[in-house]
Amino acid sequence: MKETHFDTKAIREGYSITQEQEHSEAMFLTSSFIFESAEQAERRFSHEEPGNVYSRFTNPTVESFEKKLSSLEGSQACVATASGMSAIFSTIMALLKSGDHIVASRNMFGTSIVLLNTVVSKFNIQISFVELCNIEEWKDSIRDNTKLFLLETPSNPLGDVVDIKAISKLAKSRDILLAVDNAILTPALQNPISLGADIVIHSATKYIDGQGRCLAGAVLGSEQIIDQVHSFVRTAGPSLSAFNAWIVLKSLDTLSLRMKAHSDNALKLAVWLEKHDSVEKVYYLGLKSHPNHELAKQQQSGFGGIVSFEVKGGKKKAFELINSTEMLSITANLGDTKTTITHPSSTTHGRLSDDEKVQAGIKDSLIRVSVGLESIDDVIDDINKGL
Ligand SMILES: Cc1ncc(COP(=O)(O)O)c(C=O)c1O
């Protein structure tokens, strides 16, 4: 296909049709594929002949999703996984070995930190946590055996941002791979690879699905990197199901429209919250008051849909407000058309120690809203009651 714009790629890339001439992509719900002969089976198993063998290895629907996402992120290759967590875990397991060292941002999704501390650490892989925005701290944490920088920008729920170009320059100077979790902005609003990242990781469960229907993940990067991750996924088994691949494949068609609408709604809510007397502080990158506003403007093409705020009155008031909402969904997921409301300290970040929470800036009075696509006036009305 000739080089096209983002929205065209989001609809047309990865599109393949069967002899039935269907217009919407088919779903290949099959665990295995048949061979014309024993000889062909032998050739397929030995990789002498390309083609499908078994859906843990490859599946046409999964491949359509991988191709489309890859073209949107501007990567050479992509491997889809069963969830965002398995995308992170597969990246580490495929690319690192016992004795290696990871420097990771402490401002990441809570479970990513738990994964590093409780699972990855069992494989004799050392981990140092640093402040996302502090490049000097990343630099000082490098050891001779550092193989990977792992971060999420902007971070969830507070919207900390790191200069991807600067951190990539540092990583490259020391032969370290840079992996960026791009779940919060998606390629519609940020392209880490064009800024120098080696690997992009997704929880496609979030905005890529965008409607809270399924779990999915992806790892993107050069062919050389993704071959290794694919090899791990096909062997260890956290492969994406064809059914879920079909859902996220179709969702990509509307990704940029949705991300723009999420961002517009989120900005309206943030501006309104900032003026409210019962609100202590609002965290939204689109607000000039956010310390990372200027950097976000430079490296992102939008600010996304997550608005967090601290209420006056601590945890008690935060719980009261959450419980008073009638339309908003009290659920930990984000990136849905439906607006969701969460208390990070007791849910998504509940497994962090008190110390880790302080370091990550997660206070008891903090509420996170993943702003959906309802009329924003109705979202504001629902929050206003409790405030
Ligand atoms: C930024 C980020 N990365 C990764 C994950 C994990 O994704 P999943 O729930 O698909 O495993 C999440 C989940 O909330 C997330 O917010």
- Taking only the tens place, the pLDDT of each residue in 275-329 is 999 999 999 999 999 999 999 999 999 999 999 999 999 999 999 999 999 999 9
Residue with CA nearest ligand 1 atom 6: 84
SS3 352: coil
Tell me if domain 6-252 and domain 255-386 are identical in fold: no
Could you tell me the CA-to-CA distances from 96 to 99, 141, 200, 368 in Å, in that order? 9, 17, 16, 34
CB neighbours (10 Å) of residue 224? 10
Q: pTM for the full model?
A: 0.96
200: number of CA atoms within 13 Å, CB side? 31
Which of 27, 43, 91 lies closest to 233, judged by CA?
91
SS3 8: helix
Report the alpha-carbon distance of residue 149 to residue 170 in Å, rounded.
Answer: 10
- 41: buried, middle or exposed (CB in 10 Å: 19+, 13-18, 0-12)? middle
Which of 134, 182, 149 lies closest to 292, judged by CA?
134
Asked if 342 and 332 touch (Cβ cutoff 8 Å), the reply is yes
Residue 75 pLDDT more than 60?
A: yes
- Does residue 356 or residue 240 have the better pLDDT? 240
Residue with CA nearest ligand 1 atom 10: 84
Give 274 Cα–ligand 1 centroid separation in angstroms: 27
Mean pLDDT to the nearest integer, 33-56: 96
CATH architecture designation of domain 6-252: 3-Layer(aba) Sandwich (3.40)
SS3 5: coil
Q: What is the pLDDT of residue 351?
A: 79
Q: What is the pLDDT of residue 360?
A: 78
Of 3.40.50.1000, 3.40.228.10, 3.90.1150.10, 1.10.8.50, which CATH number belongs to 255-386?
Answer: 3.90.1150.10
CB neighbours (10 Å) of residue 279? 18
Instruction: Give the helix/strand (H/E) hosting 147.
Output: strand 146-152
SS3 42: helix
Asked if 44 and 106 touch (Cβ cutoff 8 Å), the reply is no
Asked if 113 and 138 touch (Cβ cutoff 8 Å), the reply is no
Res. 361 pLDDT band, cuts 50 70 90 = confident
SS3 26: coil
Residues 6+ apart with CB under 8 A from 365: 280, 310, 311, 312, 313, 314, 315, 317, 318
Residue with CA nearest ligand 1 atom 7: 84
Res. 3 pLDDT band, cuts 50 70 90 = confident
76-87 per-position pLDDT tens digit:
999 999 999 999
CB neighbours (10 Å) of residue 231? 14
Q: What is the pLDDT of residue 332?
A: 87
CB neighbours (10 Å) of residue 100? 18
- Please report, rounded to a whole number, the percentage of residues in the chain having pLDDT higher than 90: 93
Asked if 159 and 116 touch (Cβ cutoff 8 Å), the reply is no
Query: Which of 206, 207, 241, 251 maximizes ligand 1 atoms within 8 Å of its Cβ, making it the mutation to test the pocket?
Result: 206
Mean pLDDT to the nearest integer, 46-65: 96
Residue with CA nearest ligand 1 atom 8: 84
Mean pLDDT to the nearest integer, 99-125: 95
Residue with CA nearest ligand 1 atom 9: 84
Domain boundaries, the chain: 6-252, 255-386
Report the alpha-carbon distance of residue 251 to residue 246 in Å, rounded.
Answer: 9
Res. 353 pLDDT band, cuts 50 70 90 = confident
Q: What is the pLDDT of residue 1?
A: 55
Residue with CA nearest ligand 1 atom 3: 203
Report the alpha-carbon distance of residue 199 to residue 181 in Å, rounded.
Answer: 9
Atom of ligand 1 nearest to the CA of 348: 14
Query: Which of 109, 180, 201 maximizes ligand 1 atoms within 8 Å of its Cβ, making it the mutation to test the pocket?
Result: 109
Give 203 Cα–ligand 1 centroid separation in angstroms: 5
Give 35 Cα–ligand 1 centroid separation in angstroms: 38
Asked if 75 and 55 touch (Cβ cutoff 8 Å), the reply is no
Res. 359 pLDDT band, cuts 50 70 90 = confident
Which of 341, 342, 364, 360 lies closest to 352, judged by CA?
360
Residue 2 pLDDT more than 80?
A: no
CB neighbours (10 Å) of residue 232? 20
Question: What are the tokens at 245?
Answer: 């691949």
Residues in the ligand 1 pocket, defined by CB under 6 Å: 83-85, 109, 112, 152, 156, 181, 183-184, 203, 205-206, 215, 217
Give 269 Cα–ligand 1 centroid separation in angstroms: 23
